[in-house]
Structure 1
Amino acid sequence: MPLPDDLDRTGLLAEAKGGDNAPALSVSELSGALKRTVETAFGHVRVRGEISGWKRHGSGHCYFTLKDENACIDAVIWKGQAASLAFRPEDGAEVICTGKLTTYAGRSKYQIVVTRMELAGEGALMALLDRRRRALAAEGLFDEARKRRLPFLPRLIGVVTSPTGAVIRDILHRLEHRCPTRVMVWPVPVQGEGSADKIAAAIRGFANMDPRPDLLIVARGGGSIEDLWAFNEEAVVRAAAESPIPLISAVGHETDTTLIDFASDRRAPTPTAAAEMAVPVRAELAGMLAEAQHRMASTMDRTWARLGERLDLAAQRWPEAANLFAPFSQRIDELGDRLPRGLVQRTAHARADHAEVAPRLQPRLLTDRIARGHEKLLSLWRLAELAHPERPLQRGFVRVTDRAGKTLVHAADARAAGAIDLHFADGRVAAQVGDLVGPKAFRPARRVERKPSNPYLPGQADLFGDED
């Protein structure tokens, strides 16, 4: 249906005009064209700037911004390139990034994909080093109070260094010359990609070993600041500061300084000097021991001489032995004279006491007491025989017990027990309790009154009978 002319003239609808032969592009088509144009024109670029907003994502990719005084550009380093960086980037570092420009259509922005990152000259490197040093020092990692004394004579020394360089040979040769000691080497690369993480892992690994070294030496030969940069990395510095084992850093030559030197317990100017710090000279120890032994012998001789002199002086002030013991000798003589007289007097008193009590000591008194005791004992024995529970069995009585041996005195107890034992004078008979019915049923016996024959229990018949 054609539109009215007035509506067609409002300009609301897009229409082709004379000389305009370019079709309208979609947003995706325009973004793709921009992407191709940018990547073609800037397929390889090197950009110098300062790192800002550095962030490592959980995926391993790194995102940051490169900036200068007037402009900034977003940048990304994919996971593969980030793992091969020679140093650990951080905010404020001035770097030169190599890569290519690309666009990100989802946000209508462009960014540089970095394939290589380098510090922008030695000045930038020193600025980064100084900034890192001040940050770690503010945390207290370099405080002198944290540093520990080295052991005097370590039994086992751990060395973190390259296994192929001259450093380990110099250390072993110096230790052998001064004082032979057990050495354990943890081989690591001392420069290049990933070296810092391996050095830090070695320092922490020695702390978890059994037996654990008494001392650690982290060593490397001389080189440029770039060659020694692994020992400036934060991971290495923190591992050295946290090490429970005293640590000597021997990185580079005497003029070289790295951040591990500030965190270690002792800094050696060279690896050879580190070996000299680690152990004393054995010959010097032997000389010190010999000197100490000589001094001890001399001291003992002088001490004994002084003690002898003091003893002689004291002996001269003592009184003569005869005068010292004379009072005691006199006292002994007096006691010796008094002893015979005392014995004679004591014997006389004893005889008088004996003569006084002798008439009262008659054998008949003791004999009568023994006879009375004997008669009382016989009476008690006869009474015990009469009270014995087995005595009535000899006159026809029976003692009834259950199978456990408990005496039963009631018929109800016997019926409850069922199986009983009848004890006679000449033995035991097992029986079974049952109720009789009919003409043979049990009839209680007629009670016969008898006069009590036991004067001790009135109303109780005598079960034992007359005794002959």
Structure 2
Amino acid sequence: MADPFADDFTASRLVAEPAPGSNAPDMSVTELSAKLKRVVEGEFGHVRIRGEISGWKRAASGHAYLALKDDGAVIDAVIWRGSASALQFAPADGVEVIATGKLTTYPGRSKYQIVIDRMELAGEGALMALLEKLKAKLAGEGLFDRERKKDIPYLPRVIGVVTSPTGAVIRDILHRLEDRCPCHVLVWPVKVQGAGAAAEIAAAVRGFDAIVPGGPVPRPDLVIVARGGGSIEDLWAFNEEAVVRAVADCTIPIISAVGHETDTSLCDFAADVRAPTPTAAAEFAVPVKAELQSNIAALSLRTERCARRYHERGAERLAALVRVLPRRDAILGPQRQRADDLTARLGLALERRLAAGRRDLDRAGGALRPAILDARLAAARTRLGDLGRLLESVDPDKPLDRGYARVEARATGRVVASAADARAAGALTITFRDGAVPARLERGTGKAYAEPPEQPSLL
């Protein structure tokens, strides 16, 4: 078959001109893109596509961009903000989904894409795969580690409950708490399934944790996150990453009671304690008041018995010690006898000391008779007279009565005993029986002459 454009191609010219007999009018790129858009949207106005998510990205505007792929092809997709916020799960790469929407083109890049209105997981297998992937991610971050778990308080004064305010769960928890041990309960009402449930649950947990102690609203000592049973889709909000992180980050101990005993959620792994049912969570939270009172009474009785027994055993030990102790007379007898002996000895010693004193006095009295005293006094007088005469014989002024004189150096007052000492002294004092005369030796001749007496001055 001949190529109808062959002549046009071979006869191409520098300036384009309408080809003779051609019925293909010129179109702009925009016109062609618009025509393709109308054809695609008219032909594929509503489609359902099954594929695996790839390149999931959430823009700041809230719109989401991704691609759906299988073994043979890839198609771009966009989810506008309103539809993205209504998704019942958190999309991630590798999750198989079924997307419902319409095909359209994007002229800016010359490509076609699907605008997704609704996106769901492609069966329970895909949901479980998403769950396992998220579980592995959070476990790798250590959010489920045993070291992060906190101890549940034995008797909490305030309990916070995060659950639906209209379901049977809250009534079961309140009734069980009332039966076991009434306490102050704060309920934070949330949606427990559907769009926005995960955000409300996470906000409630963080809200309880943000309450300041001592404020107008009491801070809970324990938080219970609860929901009744349901399918995995119904419980999916408690598998959302936002809820798991809020529970793991909470500084208040948390009991997770989501679903029935066989149901398991990621919230259970992040919580400090997992309860099989909401009713069991209330039982974990508080002890039975009657049992507590009974235990206290039993402990009080045991304490009283122990105190009484201790007293009785002490009395028994004291009585036993009293029996083996010696009697008072046996202990004090030797001391009493010794005291009596010392008393008797003291009397005898005083009598002997008195007799000795009397003998000494008698001996001293005999030496004090008048004759003996007179003899001793005469002897004393004789000795005293001898000493007086001896003293008189050595009196330096006594020879002066016999014509002698005493020569003394005037400067020192010492007796001059030689001529050399007299010449050396110069000024002398010559003492006679009736007085002293000053004298001086002449130098050279050695002759002495008396100095004239001092004349009184006339005023």
What's the TM-score once normalised by structure 2's chain length? 0.69
Q: CA deviation at 1:319?
A: 3.0
CA distance in 2, matches of 1:174, 1:336: 92
Query: Residue 236 and residue 328 in structure 1: after superposition, are their counterparts in 2 closer, same or farther (change >3 A)?
Result: farther
Query: Residue 280 and residue 336 in structure 1: after superposition, are their counterparts in 2 closer, same or farther (change >3 A)?
Result: farther
Once the two structures are superposed, what CA deviation does each residue of 1:88-129 show, in whole Å capped at 9, x if it has no partner? Answer: 111221111111111111111111111111111111111111
Higher gyration radius (CA):
2
**Aligned partner of residue 306 in structure 1, secondary structure:** helix
Query: Residue 309 and residue 336 in structure 1: after superposition, are their counterparts in 2 closer, same or farther (change >3 A)?
Result: farther
The aligned counterpart of 1:291 is: 298
Q: Which runs of 5+ in 2 are unaligned?
A: 1-9, 355-459
The aligned counterpart of 1:322 is: 329
Q: CA deviation at 1:165?
A: 0.8
**Structure 2 counterparts to residues 37-186 of structure 1, below 5 A:** 37-186=39-188
> For structure 1, which segment, 64-73 or 156-165, has the greater mean C-alpha deviation from structure 2 after superposition?
64-73
Q: AA paired with 1:115?
A: D
Query: Residue 147 and residue 18 in structure 1: after superposition, are their counterparts in 2 closer, same or farther (change >3 A)?
Result: same
CA distance in 1, matches of 2:44, 2:154: 63
CA distance in 2, matches of 1:321, 1:93: 100
CA distance in 1, matches of 2:226, 2:331: 79
1:230 aligns with 2:234: no
1:259 aligns with 2:261: no
CA distance in 2, matches of 1:206, 1:216: 8
The aligned counterpart of 2:248 is: 241
CA distance in 2, matches of 1:128, 1:193: 18
CA distance in 1, matches of 2:273, 2:41: 53
The aligned counterpart of 2:289 is: 282
Q: AA paired with 2:188?
A: W
Once the two structures are superposed, what CA deviation does each residue of 1:256-294 show, in whole Å capped at 9, x if it has no partner? Answer: 111111111111111111111111111111111121122
Query: Residue 107 and residue 157 in structure 1: after superposition, are their counterparts in 2 closer, same or farther (change >3 A)?
Result: same
Q: Which runs of 5+ in 1 are unaligned?
A: 1-7, 346-468
CA distance in 2, matches of 1:70, 1:328: 121
Query: Residue 251 and residue 335 in structure 1: after superposition, are their counterparts in 2 closer, same or farther (change >3 A)?
Result: farther
Once the two structures are superposed, what CA deviation does each residue of 1:268-327 show, in whole Å capped at 9, x if it has no partner? Answer: 111111111111111111111121122222222322232223223333343332343456
The aligned counterpart of 1:187 is: 189
Query: Residue 319 and residue 59 in structure 1: after superposition, are their counterparts in 2 closer, same or farther (change >3 A)?
Result: same
Q: AA paired with 1:223?
A: G
> For structure 1, which segment, 305-314 or 291-300, has the greater mean C-alpha deviation from structure 2 after superposition?
305-314
**Structure 2 counterparts to residues 380-419 of structure 1, below 5 A:** none
The aligned counterpart of 2:451 is: none
The aligned counterpart of 2:398 is: none
CA distance in 2, matches of 1:117, 1:335: 121
Report percent identity of matched pairs. Answer: 63
Q: AA paired with 2:45?
A: G
**Structure 2 counterparts to residues 302-451 of structure 1, below 5 A:** 302-326=309-333, 334=342
The aligned counterpart of 1:197 is: 199
Q: AA paired with 1:272?
A: T
Q: CA deviation at 1:195?
A: 0.7
CA distance in 1, matches of 2:344, 2:295: 67
CA distance in 2, matches of 1:260, 1:176: 26
Once the two structures are superposed, what CA deviation does each residue of 1:348-399 show, in whole Å capped at 9, x if it has no partner? Answer: xxxxxxxxxxxxxxxxxxxxxxxxxxxxxxxxxxxxxxxxxxxxxxxxxxxx
The aligned counterpart of 1:214 is: 221
CA distance in 2, matches of 1:286, 1:9: 109
Q: CA deviation at 1:40?
A: 1.4
Q: CA deviation at 1:133?
A: 1.1
CA distance in 2, matches of 1:44, 1:177: 57
CA distance in 2, matches of 1:16, 1:336: 167
Q: Displaced runs of 4+ in structure 1, greater than 6 A?
A: 330-333, 335-341
The aligned counterpart of 1:389 is: none
**Aligned partner of residue 86 in structure 2, secondary structure:** coil
User: Paired residues, what number?
Assistant: 337
Q: AA paired with 1:169?
A: R
CA distance in 2, matches of 1:266, 1:315: 60
**Aligned partner of residue 106 in structure 1, secondary structure:** helix
Q: Over aligned residues, Cα RMSD in angstroms?
A: 2.5
